[in-house]
Amino acid sequence: MQSEVNARGEVRVLRPGSAREAVTMARRWGGTYIAGASWLQPVWERDQCWPRCLVALDPRWPGFRGIERAERGLVIGALTTLDELSRHPLIHDYLPALPELLKLVAGPGVRRLGTVAGNLCAGGDLSALFLSLDARLDLVGCDGPESKSLAAGYIASQGVDLIQSITLPDSRLWRIAVDKLGHRERFSPTRATVACVHGGDRLRLAVCGEGGPRRLPITEAALNDGHSRSDVDRARLLASELESCGWQDPTLRLAIQRMVDYLLAEVGHDD
């Protein structure tokens, strides 16, 4: 863990020439990766406490910015901004629910700065949707490239591996519904964002917000196992799973339950 400083002027900004060099620098100096900084910067300002060293990421590095169709689905560069994401034709084709969600994320100015990977690392609005899509992280590590599921990435979030891109499966034939509960209409931190994906014969659920980003495997399993359960039983199961993974506010759990029910109907789970 690198030490911290109390003045912004004391922060040392390293500017590596490549992704591999960035990883090396982060390992050597203990630096924090920085791109749009739309989330980190206010946190540092608030606490008056900055990392001693920042490793500035460069969106011009190959594969770090832009969106491409690939055999395995859609590959999104980690430093693609949220604004680019919301406007890209491939997103409108593959994930029409995403641009609507992005309208609720921050304001236009922040969306032009904030990056996809930054939002995921902060457990932001994209986390629930990307978790429910089984997104994979394409990483640049000390030992070369590596691929890891986003869910696994959250578990091992303390490493120095650098996200180069995020791969989403081809979801064009899937039914996807996502909803956000914020404190106000727009430009609000998420209290709870819930995503529900009906991909063929499987249903996937994920949530992010005040309780942190989580897939909900127990509830998913109950929904996918073919056994009919009463609404009350299903609600209890979800509430229990949410509570066990950090969602302590019972009213928020109730809201999530109701959002899940609504989204399940949206994706035609009852069909």
Binding segment for another protein (CB under 8 A), chosen from 18-26, 61-69, 156-164, 187-195, is 187-195
Asked whether the beta carbons of 198 and 192 are under 8 A apart, the reply is: no
Binding segment for another protein (CB under 8 A), chosen from 2-10, 22-30, 49-57, 122-130, is 2-10
- Judged by CB under 8 A, the residue of 92, 186, 229, 236 near another protein is 186
User: Could you give the string, one character per residue 126-155, with x where binding to another protein holds by CB under 8 A and - elsewhere?
Assistant: ------------------------------
**What are the φ/ψ torsions at residue 268 (nearest 5 degrees)?**
75, 35
E-assigned strand segments in the chain: 4-5, 12-14, 32-34, 50-51, 53-56, 67-70, 73-77, 136-141, 144-149, 162-168, 175-182, 190-199, 202-209, 214-215
Binding segment for another protein (CB under 8 A), chosen from 11-19, 165-173, 201-209, 247-255, is 247-255
Question: Which whole-number Å values give the CA distances from 121 to 132, 165, 169, in the listed order?
Answer: 16, 13, 20
183 binds another protein (CB under 8 A): yes
Residue 32 CB, nearest distance to another protein (Å)? 19
108 binds another protein (CB under 8 A): no
- Judged by CB under 8 A, the residue of 184, 226, 230, 231 near another protein is 184
Asked whether the beta carbons of 97 and 133 are under 8 A apart, the reply is: no
User: Could you give the string, one character per residue 43-82, with x where binding to another protein holds by CB under 8 A and - elsewhere?
Assistant: --xx------------------------------------
Place of tokens 């609404």: 231
Q: What angle (nearest 5°) sits at the alpha carbon of residue 108, between those of residues 105 and 112?
A: 95
Residue 79 CB, nearest distance to another protein (Å)? 22
Residue 233 CB, nearest distance to another protein (Å)? 16
- Judged by CB under 8 A, the residue of 225, 230, 251, 270 near another protein is 251
Number of CB atoms found within 10 A of residue 204's CB: 22
In angstroms, the CA 100 to CA 179 distance is 9
210 binds another protein (CB under 8 A): no
Cβ partners under 8 Å of residue 186, min gap 6: 103, 104, 106, 107
In angstroms, the CA 78 to CA 25 distance is 19
231 binds another protein (CB under 8 A): no
What residues make contact with another protein under the rule CB under 8 A? 6-7, 9, 42, 45-46, 107, 179, 181-189, 249, 251-252, 254-255, 258-259, 262
